[in-house]
Amino acid sequence: MRGLRRHPLSYLESLVHRYGSVVRLRFLLMDVLVVWQPDHVKHVLQDRHTIYTKESLDYRVLKRFLGEGLVTSNGALWLRQRRLMQPAFHRGSIAAFASLMVDRTRALLKEWDGPARFGRPVNVYHEMRRLSLDVVTRALFGVIVHEDARMVGHAFAILSEALAEHLYSPLFLLFLQPVLPTRSNRRARAALRTLDRTVASIIARRRAQGSAADDDLLSLLLHARDEETDGAGMDDRQIRDEVMTVLLAGHETTAATLSWTWYLLDRHRDVAERLRSEILGALGDRDPTVEDLPQLEGARRVIEEAMRLYPPAWIIARVATEEDEIGGYRVAPRTVVTLSPYLTHRSKEVWPEPERFDPDRFTAERSAERPRFAYFPFAGGPRQCIGSEFALTEATLVLATIMRRYRLELASRREVVPQPLTTLRPRGGLPMIPREA
């Protein structure tokens, strides 16, 4: 517990370096297996996914905050919700939000005019978090008033910190009890009430509009029908849970990805200059559109390489519901099987020179040579993240829009270290100075 709490990344790395491809731990009353080889990851997430469920303690904590959304639900409920939500994340639906992503990025850049003019740093992690929350709230709800956006952003910041504190507390089991009057629990409950009021009010207003045509994600969820079974839609509680899940997962992971991308581009300025030339060659003096994405493959490769080195979802847990075997080792029922994209993505057995930043790893030719689960920043199998294409589209368009205008330079040469909380974020933020490109 001490090793996992103080230095989870280095502790997990030390375990696999010392013990190999399957590591067994005794954690309180639980048996935990740590596995990282691509074929073992495939076994859990794809081949035998039906016996590995999201019933571990971390998902029980998440359910307290998010309810039974796609991230936390299991079985028939998960399958039905996935079927209902899938159309909202088809390529055509995502393309409709591309102009919104670019528009909100331009609005952010206007706020950087002062810092750029006077050489003042901005906290890029906070800025990317604010931008991605702005995008997802507008994509989800349509136009949202500034006061609502401010409250939602503040509430989610509190909630994210509470989640991280609960998940990595040595009193983990106690924190499953929401009635405990800890300061963190009180703040988290207040933040949840704020979010619930906002979401309930917006759902009620939208339902009152009847069949009014809207093209945001909330309208798609309200009008979704399960044609494969009874043709029913979601009730307000289900919609609330899915909205909370999309809001949290849809901005935290993108913010972390973009932050590490800016960090790596400043550390590798030759790559940054090649990428800027590609972007300017594709766009000229205009901002990107969804039609430009095929010409922005270099930007997408940079983002994918950033997610290889710093995967936002750095750890994934499943619970075995029946006996199994991984790598020749017995997996007893109720064993928690832990997968870590961070470990797999940095394995010398899978990736040549794994610590080196090399976006060309993700050319079509080189990607075809690797095992499918050598790279899994969005998990994989039937439960692969439903919003992966939304996130990649947003990150690519944001990256191209900002690089046309600014270079981002680290404000100091201090070491930037990852902080593995609910996502893998830069510890202490990421102060950078925007410079005119």
β-pairing verdict for 30-35 and 336-339: parallel
Q: Which residue has the tokens 């998940």?
A: 167
Identify the bridge partners of residue 331 per DSSP, sorted by sequence position.
324
Q: Which of 74-78, 126-130, 341-345 has the highest mean pLDDT?
A: 341-345
Tell me what pLDDT residue 168 has: 59
Statement: residue 175 has pLDDT above 50:
no
Share of the chain above pLDDT 90, in %: 57
DSSP 89: G
The whole-number average pLDDT for the span 411-420 is 91
DSSP 142: S
> Which tens digit of pLDDT belongs to each residue from 20-60?
999 999 877 789 999 999 999 999 999 999 999 988 777 77
Residue length, the chain?
A: 437
- Do residues 87 and 224 make contact, with C-beta atoms less than 8 angstroms apart? yes
Q: Which two tokens stand for residue 20?
A: 């190999």
The whole-number average pLDDT for the span 358-364 is 97
Tell me what pLDDT residue 188 has: 82
Tell me what pLDDT residue 257 has: 97
Identify the bridge partners of residue 74 per DSSP, sorted by sequence position.
none
Statement: residue 211 has pLDDT above 80:
no
Domains identified in the chain and CATH numbers? 2-436 (1.10.630.10)
